[in-house]
Structure 1
Amino acid sequence: MNFENQTLVILSPGFPANEADSTCLPAQQAFLRALNREFPGVSVVVLAFQYPFSETAYTWHGNRILPLNGRNRNKLHRWFLWYKAWGILKNLHKKEKIAGVFSFWLDECAFVGATFCKRKNIPHFTWLLGQDARPGNRYVRLLKPAASSLVAMSDLLARTFYENYGIRPANVIPNGIDPSLYPNPAAKRDIDVIGVGSLIPLKQFDVFIAVVKQLRSHLPGINVLICGKGPEHKKLEQLIIDNSLQQNISLTGEIKHEEILSLLQRSRIMLHTSAYEGFSGACLEALYAGAHVISFFSPQDAWIRHWHIAENSDEMAALALEILQSVEIDHKPVLPYKMSDTAKSIMQLFAGKQLTGSH
């Protein structure tokens, strides 16, 4: 694959405001860094539609970031936003050799990107990352995407999108991790159970707390962390008090990504109670940190070592108890997918488009 002196344009709803912002879309950050390492001759430009709240271009690890300052405003502002994005794409197309356009999520980014690329005969792919595969995505009707243009992050997402829209994504390229980001592991695993994610209803941290309550009846001194911020913080805080779990569960709030990785290396189990998931980057990070993962969904059809699937909360508690009480449990790192391989697979799609000249 030769992309020397070519530009890949990435369209995303948001992007980190600076290099220190490690908590904003960590998987997308890891993808971009892997892309830079594997394809140093490719110039990357990111159009961030809604966030950061600025229109000042900046550089992120050598990549050009062009924020559009959408701020999730109303319909009239959204049309102006699309017009602005179209103008930037048009200008880039005039000045640079565009290898292709890659949209994160099938949303307004994909709608603008795919429409522009169709007119200019530029390769365009959309990465289905989670919520965009669920029912009610109006951009599917507006865009009518070809299966060949869709890249699902997991087998589960590909299947979900087909069930909801009758289109089976032709490509499945999974999420991955960057092993180089991990610090030296801690001397021991002193955190029994950890949860990582936004404190929103979808993540079902109330179920998480109920599972920990069951575990506490067998393991009175169980040590549990919930890492993340969100609108349900106060509710969860009260649930912890109501269930007398203050000595067992700590809410850390939002912490830096590198600190999350360090905590995962100290954890025995990552409990993932989300009601829906594309392919959790936090779960993959937990596996490589040596923690066992328990969730309600299997993202891939293939078996993933140390990833346990529970049918319900009672089964989740039983699995967790079995792991916590085992004296022979294996906490060796598990690496299902590397982000460097993800980056190579994505660019292979654009290489194929260049070779065939199709769209």
Structure 2
Amino acid sequence: MKHKTLIILTPGFPEHEGDSTCIPPQQVFVKALKELHPELNIVVLTFQYPFFSREYEWHGVRVIAFGHPSNSRIIRRFTGLKVLTVLHKLHKESHIIGMLSFWLGKCAYIGNMFAKKYDLKHYTWLLGQDAKAGNKYFAKAKPTADRLIALSDFLVREFTKNYGITPAHVIPVGIDVTRFKKSYAKRDIDIVGAGSLIPLKQYNVFLEVIAMLKISMPDIKAVIVGDGSEMKHLKKMVTALDLADNISFTGRLAHDEVLQWMQRSKVFVHTSNYEGFGAVCLEALYAGAQVVSFVKPMDAAIENWHIAADKQTMVKRLEKILTSQETTYQSVLPFTIERNVKAMVKLFDQSEAATVRILPAMASKERLVLK
């Protein structure tokens, strides 16, 4: 009897179980999927990362990597053919119940091509910048609304605006609450930011916000966790804005260490001007911090998550949070990874078309809506 198999296509995947920094939200999802559905044969095909080509096991999940140390354009050009060869082999040896592609990119293009040939269910999970205008794979993959899953309401609007198609499903990011250690540490950090130090994340704005707050709060303490191309520029800004006593950089840290910084902070500030759904924001909420960001991922309000229209509004909101005696720091979990996995599995179980949508927790109960 052939095993029920779900195939996941992704540009990258952790090279071993200790690789916590490679697409953390997606690896959390796959791990939870396997734990909640041990009977399901999950096969991950990862196109670019790790930079080697071989098969290995990750938390009981079969992973087939097609990477190469050089990762050159010529090498990547043949990746699709190699993936198709393996897909054909998997189709012969197992019962494929469906395919899931992370991002609308080459994975979705290959996945859609194969799924059409064998009349298989194939969903594409829109995870961020793939919803922006100019994605060349939209025309190649030709996705339909009923086969698109958006990570957030924000991405539904973004994709609809840019491509005239409204993704039918919304399944947000999830976090692994078991990664959080019990913390007795004082919240001795006022503000923390975490992520890749790249222009999109606007850490220059983060520094400007701290500089503005310093006027009324001269002893404010902030930490930036992460590394990236903007590091040198940001350190120059710290000197120029006279923030050497107020800002510190940790560099790149293991995921567990990032969570510990969140548990020490009062507010997590996310200055990105575009974000599908920042898992770091959900992690900060669960760590007990307040969250302030520019982008509102979901239409429904999320407890302790504040949205600022601009830099000035962000400063005012932070001043209020940090100086108010009424501010509390309790753990908030708007979405559970178990509910997200349940929603995803529902899509592959449904014999008829149904819309899956997850709403934030209301009265401490997250909601899954099937239409």
The TM-score, its normalising length taken from structure 2, stands at 0.92
**Deviation string for 1:250-298 (max 9, x for gaps)?**
1111101111111111111010000100000000111111111111111
Distance 1:72 1:292 in 2: 40
Counterpart of 1:118 (choices 103, 113, 116) is 116
The one-letter code matched in structure 1 to 2:277 is: F
- Count of aligned pairs between the two proteins: 352
Counterpart of 2:348 (choices 342, 347, 350) is 350
Is 2:72 aligned against 1:73?
A: yes
**Deviation string for 1:200-245 (max 9, x for gaps)?**
0000000000000111111111111101111111111111111111
Q: Is the 8 A contact 2:48 2:76 kept in 1?
A: no
Instruction: Specify the alignment match of 1:128 in structure 2.
Output: 126
Is 2:22 aligned against 1:31?
A: no
Instruction: Please report how far the alpha carbon of residue 79 of structure 1 lies from its aligned counterpart in structure 2 after TM superposition.
Output: 3.1
**Deviation string for 1:112-170 (max 9, x for gaps)?**
00110110111110000000000000111112211000000000101100000000001
Is 2:283 aligned against 1:292?
A: no
Instruction: Specify the alignment match of 2:96 in structure 1.
Output: 98
Which shows bigger deviation, 174-183 or 314-323? 174-183
Q: Is the 8 A contact 2:51 2:71 kept in 1?
A: no
Instruction: Specify the alignment match of 2:105 in structure 1.
Output: 107
Instruction: Specify the alignment match of 2:366 in structure 1.
Output: none
What is the SS of the residue equivalent to 2:125?
strand
Distance 2:59 2:212 in 1: 45
Which shows bigger deviation, 326-335 or 125-134? 326-335
1:116-265, aligned counterparts within 5 Å? Answer: 116-265=114-263
Distance 2:54 2:189 in 1: 42
Distance 1:58 1:187 in 2: 39
Distance 2:209 2:292 in 1: 11
Distance 2:71 2:303 in 1: 40
**Deviation string for 1:308-354 (max 9, x for gaps)?**
111111111111111111122111111110111111101110001xx
Counterpart of 1:315 (choices 305, 313, 316) is 313
Distance 1:357 1:7 in 2: 21
What is the SS of the residue equivalent to 1:188?
coil
What is the SS of the residue equivalent to 1:192?
strand
Distance 1:108 1:145 in 2: 13
1:2-17, aligned counterparts within 5 Å? Answer: 5-17=3-15
Q: Is the 8 A contact 2:185 2:263 kept in 1?
A: no
Distance 1:186 1:47 in 2: 41
Distance 2:185 2:138 in 1: 49
Distance 2:288 2:244 in 1: 26
Instruction: Specify the alignment match of 1:340 in structure 2.
Output: 338
Q: Is the 8 A contact 1:267 1:291 kept in 2?
A: yes
Distance 2:337 2:215 in 1: 40
Q: Which runs of 5+ in 1 are unaligned?
A: none
The one-letter code matched in structure 1 to 2:120 is: I
The TM-score, its normalising length taken from structure 1, stands at 0.95
Instruction: Please report how far the alpha carbon of residue 108 of structure 1 lies from its aligned counterpart in structure 2 after TM superposition.
Output: 0.2
What is the SS of the residue equivalent to 2:112?
helix
Q: Which runs of 5+ in 2 are unaligned?
A: 355-371
Q: Is the 8 A contact 2:146 2:169 kept in 1?
A: yes
Distance 2:11 2:106 in 1: 8
Distance 2:72 2:125 in 1: 24
Distance 1:250 1:21 in 2: 25
Is 2:354 aligned against 1:326?
A: no
Instruction: Specify the alignment match of 2:365 in structure 1.
Output: none
Instruction: Specify the alignment match of 1:283 in structure 2.
Output: 281
Q: Is the 8 A contact 2:192 2:268 kept in 1?
A: yes
Distance 1:299 1:357 in 2: 25
What is the SS of the residue equivalent to 2:75?
helix
**Deviation string for 1:38-86 (max 9, x for gaps)?**
1111111111111110002111111111111156532x43331100011
Distance 1:40 1:61 in 2: 11
- Please give the root-mean-square deviation of Cα atoms over the aligned residues, in Å: 1.5
Q: Quick one: structure 1 residues 63 and 283, their matched pair in 2 at CA, closer, same or farther if it must change by over 3 Å?
A: same
What is the SS of the residue equivalent to 2:219?
coil
Q: Is the 8 A contact 2:157 2:166 kept in 1?
A: yes
Distance 1:182 1:158 in 2: 31
What is the SS of the residue equivalent to 1:55?
coil
